[in-house]
Amino acid sequence: MRLSRCDLGLLMALFPAVSVGAADERCLAAASSELERLYCEVMASGRGASLPSQPDFNRNSPQVQALLLKRPAQQLGLTLPQPAQVQTPESPDEPEPDPFPGAEPSPGPVEALADCRLNGEQIRCPEGDYELATNRRRSELAEGVLGPNNRLEFEPFTGSRDDEQAVRRYLSQAYDQYIPRMLRIGLGANTMSFTAFHNAFHTLESGGVDFSERMAQTYELLKQDRQQLGVKTRYHDELPESLTLCSHINRDIVVCDNVGTNWVYVRANR
């Protein structure tokens, strides 16, 4: 399987990298301007917690990108490239930028968690607790999960991409397969939010690329990376602020996201 430099950048958008070095290279591969390269530098420094994901950042205009980068760049002492006619955040006529354009809420009813309580790295529910999933060492994975028989496969989308209800149904079912597959290969802390999943679908399909096929290919690449590269247990200490950000994937898995960050909780002792 051979991927172009453009493909590599898109894969970084689809799945967070499993090593810091790879993340830098893949982020830069998807950068097409000084501002987008500065974004990669800020993220690599660890000061980008308030920034959106790379695909969402790249969808913004240069003016909004500059506004988003202004504070972290100042904290790091980095020079901020100034596109023409950039207004400062204090300008009264400049609205606050939306760092997550086209945001969609995660799928699934929040009512199922009505009797639960969020307690940091735990969700306490009457029927049992859920614990925050982190990345696991290769030695902790089940035998064979990195082999050819473990695949991420779902049917291609055959409807109209203008039919948002049909797209959402399709992506909800696909997402319900994606999250358990990521857990299976020990990447619980490297999952996409449903918003990122939704955006990746439209980006790929509008470019003439079959979303289901590309996801399957990328999963195979992740398995290859897991054979060779180590992973951090977690990449940040941020936690969801409210159960309103959370929903069930299935009986054993709850996913929370604030659009920019995704958290997966797994039923304890499952």
Per-residue pLDDT tens over the stretch 70-110: 888 888 888 887 664 333 333 333 333 433 333 344 344 44
| Helix, strand or coil, per DSSP, at residue 180 | helix
- Max CA-CA distance within the chain? 59
- Report the length, in residues, of the chain: 270
Give alpha helix (H) positions in 106-241.
164-184, 194-206, 211-228
| Alpha-carbon distances of 245 from 20, 82, 262, rounded to whole Å | 28, 35, 10
Give the whole-angstrom CA distance, residue 11 versus residue 148.
20
Indicate the helix (H) or strand (E) that contains 250.
Answer: strand 246-250
Q: Please give the Cα distance from 197 to 177 (Å, whole number).
A: 12
pLDDT lower than 70: segments of the chain: 1-24, 56, 59-61, 82-112, 270
Structural tokens at position 217: 């290919």
CA angle, residues 185, 53, 223, in degrees to nearest 5: 20
pTM (global) more than 0.75: no
C-alpha closest to that of 40 among 54, 61, 60 = 54
Classified as helix, coil or strand, 131 is strand
Residue 24, pLDDT score: 67
> How distant, in Å, are the alpha carbons of 6, 24, 57, 115, 200 from that of 27?
11, 5, 12, 40, 16
Query: Is 173 within 8 Å of 194 (Cβ atoms)?
Result: no
- The pLDDT score that the predictor gives to residue 144 is 94
State residue 45's pLDDT score: 85
Q: Which residues contact 236 (CB under 8 A, 6 or more apart)?
A: 49, 261
